[in-house]
Structure 1
Amino acid sequence: MSNLSIEAKVGVFVIIGMIILGYMSMRLGKLGFKMDQGFEVKVYFDSASGLEEDVSVEIAGVEVGRVSKILLEDGKALVILRIDSNVKLRKDVKALIKSRGILGDKYVVLIQGSPAAPLIEPNGRIISTTTATDLESLMNVLGDVAKDISRLTQSFANVMGGEKGEASLRSIIDSMKAVAETLNRTVQENNKGLVKIITNLSEFSATINEISSKINKGEGSIGKLINEEDTVKRLNGTLASLKEITEKINRGEGSLGKLINEEETVENINSTLTSINDYMQKQESFRTYLDYRGEYLFDSEEVKSYLTLRIQPREDKYYLLQIVDDPSGVESETDITTTTNGVTTTEHIEKNEKNKIKFSAQIAKRYYDLGLRGGIFESTGGFAFDYYLFKDRLTLSLEAFDFDSDSNAHLKFKADFTPFKHLYITSGFDDFISDKGNESFFIGAGINFLDDDLKTLLSNLPF
């Protein structure tokens, strides 16, 4: 060494210093000479702003690796972490970017998940990530808050500034002062009442304490109920009896037990309830209508009247009972044969009973818009067709009855139109194929209404 020149000595010293400096740098930077050991994992962040390569990766404040690379992939930041080989990461581990203070460097923090979760394989991916709020975002939020505060103060200044604002503020203060004075005056005026209320509350509290003391001593009904052994025993006996009764019911013993537990009894009850329900539905759908109709006959210039009771157990079925006041009466023909001195004579007598009452009793069935009726029409057999139009506001009817072999049948066509509820008008041609000259046009009107009183009486009849 003594043979070396000064320049050589300086060079050797510099080389040794650089070697020492490089070694210490690697030791202090945690890189070591075995930097390539460990395994890599991938993690995607929406933003890796401020994060640099070779910064630390920590778990619970302990460094467990370094950021190896930061790349851009599909619009997201791909951060590759090199983790020490002795660290085990679970698949539900969570990664987030944090800062050391407000202006400090950023680093990656890993939060371990469940110990039961499977391990992440080398070159695997951390799914769960969170990007911490950076200083720029925080400043933007604070800027928005400052703007809101500025607008608020400006609005307050606009409201309270000037003479009007000052007057408003003075008015508010005066109002508050008046309220305080009124409250103070009210308290002073009702001081005796307040004292009385407080005294009553104190007495009530003392009474409650006295009652509690008596109960604890076994005095009074409640005290005896709580403290006397005989009372408690009787109460326990009652509860035991109730328990025994409940157990018998659960076992199906006794009338009540059979009623609750036997399937046959339950089925009978259900059947009875079903029958009651059917009966109530039948009652609800049952309808009875009263109807009066008058028809003016142009040929005879008389009025023919109808009083009708319609019993309707269902929408598509009804029964019709009718009284008819026919001014033309009832015509009857009689042949009287007599024999005198061996001579036989036959006398033909025609009789007309004016204003005789006729009766009708019919059953009707409806098929969509077509209705069929059959039965007794004005005291003779017959049938009819009804066709319903415009939601039943217009009804066209053709009736045929009085099928007498000596004369044509009685045919009647009519149209009923209901312009208003409960009121209708009628028009048609009566007995239009009569061979006795009884055919006549007619026009008339009628009124009908639902009668619930008759419904109650007639709904029990079997239809």
Structure 2
Amino acid sequence: MNEFKVGLLALATLAAIVFMSFKITSNQSGFGQYVTYRTIVKDASGIFPKTPIKVAGIAAGRITSIELQGNTALITFEILKQIQVTKNSKLRIKSVGFLGDKYIEIYVGDSTEMLAKLDFIDSEESAGIETLVKDASEVLVDVKSIVKSLKESISPDGQVSPIKQILADLSEVMANTKEATEVLKRVTAGNEQKINALMDNLESFSYDLAYQMDKANPDSTMSDIKEVLSNTKKLTADLNEIVADVKRGKGTVGKLLVEDEIADQVKATLSSVQKIVGKADAIRTELSAFTGVNTLGGAENELALRIFPSPERFYHLGLTTTEIGPDTETITETTTSGTTVVQNKKERQKDTFKFNIQVGRRVQDFGFRGGLIESSGGLALDYYLQNFGTRFSLEGFDYKKDKGANLRFITELQLWNVLYGRASLDDMARKERSATVQAGLRFNDEDLKGLIGFFF
């Protein structure tokens, strides 16, 4: 009874996950009728099969395949039939945010003539992170040119600094003013009576003027001028000190003016950031979980993660569990009074765990894998039928001297969207043959994002 309840709970959980997967990825599945179109782009970085196609910002289809055609990428995709795609429609690869995932946006034209099935849609180049970094590099070159011009203006080679020239001119003006004052003093010495008479007639005016020219009076104009001149003197001294530090290469501005290496280092840093962002954006993952039954081992489950650094290379990490493990034979020889007794003891483990760690490469419709297959060394060959969502695999592993290698043939079929079925035949070259039937789910990056977004 407990086993029945556990099995019923497992089936209910699997059904709930399948329902949520269909609910989330419905815009990428076969709900409704679709029409297939094609396009050619110069750069298909960051887009893969199942990448969404959007119209007016709403998902309306997905990419089915990407192929290399000459020096360009041929993209085949499908769109809901109710979307009226005209002949003057345009297509553009866009990103979600600064470092977000990429998708394809279709801008439907105003033509009345519709595109037929498998017709081509013109693509437009879009401004991405690569264009932004390139523009930033060009701006940096302009900034470097401006800073160089500013340096030549402040401190020209072989010439007197403009600021020093201004200070020299100001000193000359002050000397001329002092000389004129001495001349005025000599002139007034012989006309003191006339000046006194003039001052008596303008007593009222003189009083006001004397008040404003009184340096001891804090409210006088002369006091304000004295303060302004004092501040100007301090400002001039600070400016001279700043210019001297800039010429010696101190501070950020000084280094920009004196050291050309800084601008080159900034450009190199931006280029490195561009490469890192490009590599991180190109990595894709695929998560799968299968459960089923083996004719000898009972219940069998598998959890696997595939990491794609590029479309043609991948790493396979997985864990396989079986209800009943393989047989273990123990031979014991006992000799008593010259008589030898041989005992053979066979045991079978329960709830065993096996690991899968493999490195693989795709070459067109073929895939090659090597590494640990169920905790033993082995090799595998895969053949993909992309149009039917089917994969055939032949694996060789668990080599034994007296029995040879375990040859396993696997057939995997996409039943609907993220739901897959799998059948395999183990130990094809041995007497202990067994068969396994499994069903499971497989999610790519787009499916996982939708599933996580459903809960959070």
User: Shorter-chain TM-score: which interval?
Assistant: 0.3 to 0.5
TM-score with structure 1 setting the length: 0.42
Rg: which structure is higher? 1
TM-score with structure 2 setting the length: 0.43
